Amino acid sequence: MNMDWTPEELQAIVDEHALVLFMKGTPDQAQCGFSNRAAQVLQALGEPFAAVNILTDPRAIPSVCTWSDFPTMPQVFVHGELIGGSDIALEMLNDGSLREMFDAGRQG
């Protein structure tokens, strides 16, 4: 992916995809246990998601964290809204609110 990690580019990604995961590595080859857990949560949800590997460019982590105002990776976006990292994603998978939020946005 050829990116400059500008706020406009990042916003375009989460506007374009209903589910976006900014992560270390890829869903198949996660480079961090938290990123792996977040990818597993989205796979468990069973909906297609866009995964952005922020280890491909040293500018990525500071750019994404500044843009989203969230200090850690991974970061999960549902319909353009940051829900949090892997801990919140898992909590929302288990209590059903991730499914609710995804379905609500899809209908709207």
Partner 1 sequence: MVSTEWLEAEVLKAVPDADVEVIDLHRSGDHFHVRITSPSFEGMRPLQRQKQVLNHMKQFIPHPVHAIDLKCMTPEQAAVTGDTAFDPHAGGQGVHIRRINRQKEE
User: Which residues of the shown chain bind partner 1 in the complex (CB under 8 A)?
Assistant: 32-34, 36-37, 40-41, 44, 69-72, 82-88, 90-93
Residues 6+ apart with CB under 8 A from 80: 11, 14, 15
Minimum CB distance to partner 1 smaller for 2 or for 69 = 69
Provide CB contacts within 8 A for 36, sequence distance 6+. Answer: 25, 30
What does the block give as tokens for 53? 């590997």
Shortest Cβ distance from residue 99 to partner 1 (Å)? 15
Q: Which amino acid is at 35?
A: S
What is the closest distance, in whole angstroms, from the C-beta atom of residue 93 to partner 1 in the complex? 8
Nearest approach, Cβ of residue 15 and partner 1 (Å): 19
